[in-house]
């Protein structure tokens, strides 16, 4: 937890009003890049994830994963004086991030028109399930719903089994990233014009954007993509196979650069002359046959033997690892994919490092996830120059 001379977003003031994952992850990425992020949480309970397990020393791991590099200030959002206070904070902010149900900010007198008039340089990032202004905007949505509604679940899983969710909330993460891209693009525009704008991203739009070729394949070619296990949709052989010792491994040897190396690796160069397999299209048509060849060879060797051979042939491959194996891999520390964050109550918390690597202004972790309201006074003093007496009154009136 060190601070370099300068960060990419040094001096950028961010108000993070968001809860759960997509909004908080977006604001955390800005924090990782050096922004001054103030998380504005409802009084008493704070972000919903503070009361979601699992815990370390009564601190929610879930909350900690999405809220490092932030300070916490509490506001009783339903109180008009708190809403005034929020607007005063907006006057000082560069960016506001929110993921309430569309319409909520408007009810608080903090819709885009209000805030833009108040602070024309403000960039307001709005993350929602379906987007701000359309026929579906009012519907509630979580990651799993987005996976179900956009066809993602139907694309995932064994063809003989039921539709599957991806193992983590990937659509939330992607939406966080789309919002961050939008904020930074808007910042570039503001650097030229002085004017802020609204960023409007949605779980459904984010999920749809990651459907590969599915939409045109159906609408033009009439082919409805569905789940196919771990088989690659565009090259063969590329799939998960089981070695002689029962270990699962994933191998990609299907494109035209890979396949000759694969055929020689398994000692069957004659496959390259086989009219079923000598083109990528042939291998896609005869995918069961070519994967049977691969499976047979792999089943005759241990995972270590197979992986060593694949490595020599420079074919992408990996053992399917458990989280235990991942967490204990020294490379994960070496590359800073896992770092230690020291939390005042939870102690040393190893967590995933910032995913955006920058050469001159690296991402850093400068603050542990905050306790609820830990920085209310500090932020009100720094941002608004508020006297102690006023803070005491606000606290007594449960406005902060």
| Contact set for its own copies, span 97-136 (CB under 8 A) | 112, 129-131, 134-136
Cβ(350)–Cβ(13) below 8 Å? no
Nearer to its own copies, 208 or 386 (CB): 208
Tell me how many residues contact its own copies (CB under 8 A). Answer: 147
Which residue has tokens 């939330």? 172
Smallest separation, CB 294 to its own copies (Å): 14
What is the closest distance, in whole angstroms, from the C-beta atom of residue 358 to its own copies in the complex?
Answer: 6
Contact 254, 232 (CB under 8 A): yes
| Tokens 């009084």 sit on residue | 43
For position 93 contacting its own copies by CB under 8 A, the verdict is no
The CB-of-72 to its own copies minimum distance in angstroms stands at 20
Per-residue tokens: 167: 């193992």
| Residue 140 tokens, joined | 């509630």
Asked if 174 touches its own copies (CB under 8 A), the answer is yes
The separation between CA 137 and the C-alpha centre of its own chain, rounded to angstroms, equals 22
> Considering the rule CB under 8 A, would residue 385 count as an interface residue with its own copies?
no
Dmax (CA) for the chain in angstroms is 85
Among 170, 247, 371, 386, binds its own copies (CB under 8 A): 170
Of 1-9, 71-79, 297-305, 380-388, the segment contacting its own copies by CB under 8 A is 1-9
Note whether 316 binds its own copies by CB under 8 A: yes
Nearer to its own copies, 338 or 380 (CB): 338
Helical axes 80-92 vs 376-384, angle rounded to 10°: 60
Q: Does 293 bind its own copies (CB under 8 A)?
A: no
Q: Is 145 in the site for its own copies (CB under 8 A)?
A: yes
Sole window of 73-81, 251-259, 365-373, 392-400 interacting with its own copies (rule: CB under 8 A):
251-259
Q: If DSSP codes are grouped into helix, strand and coil, which group holds residue 153?
A: helix
Site for its own copies contains 8 (CB under 8 A): yes
What are the CA-CA distances from residue 60 to residues 47, 273, 345, 367, 395 (Å)?
Answer: 11, 59, 11, 16, 25
Considering the complex, what minimum distance in angstroms separates the CB of residue 386 from its own copies? 30
Active site residue 172: yes
Q: Which of residues 30-59 bind its own copies (CB under 8 A)?
A: 33, 48, 51-54, 56
CA quadruple 115, 120, 125, 131: dihedral positive or negative? positive
Tell me if 170 sits within 8 A of 143, measured CB to CB: yes
Report the C-alpha gap between 230 and 238 in whole angstroms. 8
In sequence order, the 6+-apart residues with CB closer than 8 A to the CB of 374 are 71, 72
Question: How many residues in total does the chain contain?
Answer: 400
How does DSSP classify residue 41?
E
Q: State which of residues 1, 91, 185, 272 lies at the interface with its own copies (CB under 8 A).
A: 185
- CB of residue 20 vs its own copies: minimum separation in angstroms? 9
Residue 310, token pair as written in the block: 């694949």
Q: Smallest distance from the beta carbon of 380 to its own copies, in angstroms?
A: 27
166 binds its own copies (CB under 8 A): yes
Q: Which of residues 261-280 bind its own copies (CB under 8 A)?
A: 280
Please report how close the Cβ of residue 219 comes to its own copies at its closest, in angstroms: 4
Among 195, 245, 378, 390, binds its own copies (CB under 8 A): 195
Contacts of 188 (CB under 8 A, 6+ apart): none
- Binding its own copies (rule: CB under 8 A), the pick from 24, 46, 157, 370 is 157
* Closest distance to its own copies from the beta carbon of 27 (Å): 13
Q: Contact with its own copies (CB under 8 A): which of 23, 24, 46, 182?
A: 182
Residue among 83 and 132 whose Cβ is closer to its own copies: 132
- Paired with 352 in beta bridges are 338
State yes or no: residue 156 binds its own copies (CB under 8 A).
yes
Q: In the window 345-374, what residues touch its own copies (CB under 8 A)?
A: 346, 349-361
Nearest-angstrom CA–CA distance, 112 and 156: 38
Residue 294's nearest CA partner among 310, 318, 312 is: 310
Catalytic residue among 94, 172, 200, 232: 172
**Cα-trace Rg, the chain:** 25
Nearest to 12 by CA among 85, 73, 93: 93
Collapsing DSSP to helix, strand or coil, 240 comes out as strand
Judged by beta carbon, residue 140 or residue 275, the one nearer its own copies is 140
Residues designated catalytic: 172
């Amino acid at each position: 937890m060190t601070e370099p001379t300068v960060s990419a977003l040094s001096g950028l003031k961010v108000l993070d009003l968001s809860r759960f994952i997509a909004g908080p992850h977006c604001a955390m990425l800005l924090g990782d890049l050096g922004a001054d992020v103030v998380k504005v949480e409802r009084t008493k309970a704070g972000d919903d994830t503070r009361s979601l397990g699992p815990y370390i020393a009564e601190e929610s791991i879930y909350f900690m994963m999405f809220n490092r590099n932030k300070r916490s200030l509490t506001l009783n959002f339903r109180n008009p004086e708190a809403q005034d206070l929020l607007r005063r904070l907006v006057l000082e902010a560069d960016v506001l991030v929110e993921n309430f149900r569309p319409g909520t900010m408007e009810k608080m007198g903090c819709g885009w028109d209000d805030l833009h008039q108040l602070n024309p340089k403000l960039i307001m990032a709005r993350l929602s399930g379906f987007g701000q202004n359309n026929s579906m905007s009012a519907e509630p949505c979580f990651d799993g719903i987005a996976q179900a509604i956009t066809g993602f679940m139907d694309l995932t899983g064994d063809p003989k089994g039921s539709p599957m969710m991806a193992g983590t909330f990937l659509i939330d993460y992607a939406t966080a990233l789309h919002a961050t891209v939008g904020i930074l693009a808007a910042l570039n525009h503001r650097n030229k014009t002085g004017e802020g704008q609204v960023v409007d991203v949605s779980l459904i739009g984010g999920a749809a954007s990651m459907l590969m070729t599915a939409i045109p394949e159906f609408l033009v070619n009439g082919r409805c993509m569905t789940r196919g296990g771990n088989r690659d949709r565009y090259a063969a052989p590329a799939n998960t196979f089981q070695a002689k010792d029962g270990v699962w491994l994933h191998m990609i040897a299907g494109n035209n650069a890979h396949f000759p190396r694969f055929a020689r690796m398994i000692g069957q160069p004659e496959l390259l002359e086989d009219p079923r397999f000598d083109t990528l299209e042939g291998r896609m048509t005869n995918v069961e046959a070519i994967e049977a060849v691969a499976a047979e060879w792999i089943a005759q060797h241990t995972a270590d033997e197979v992986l060593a051979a694949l490595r020599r042939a420079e074919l992408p491959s990996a053992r399917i690892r458990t989280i235990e194996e991942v967490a204990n891999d020294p490379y994960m520390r070496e590359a800073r994919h896992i770092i230690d964050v020291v939390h005042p109550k939870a102690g040393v918390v190893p967590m995933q490092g910032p995913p955006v690597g920058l050469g001159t202004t690296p991402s850093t972790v400068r603050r542990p996830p905050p306790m609820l309201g830990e920085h209310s006074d500090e932020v009100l003093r720094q941002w608004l120059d508020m006297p102690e007496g006023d803070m005491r009154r606000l606290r007594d009136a449960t406005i902060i």
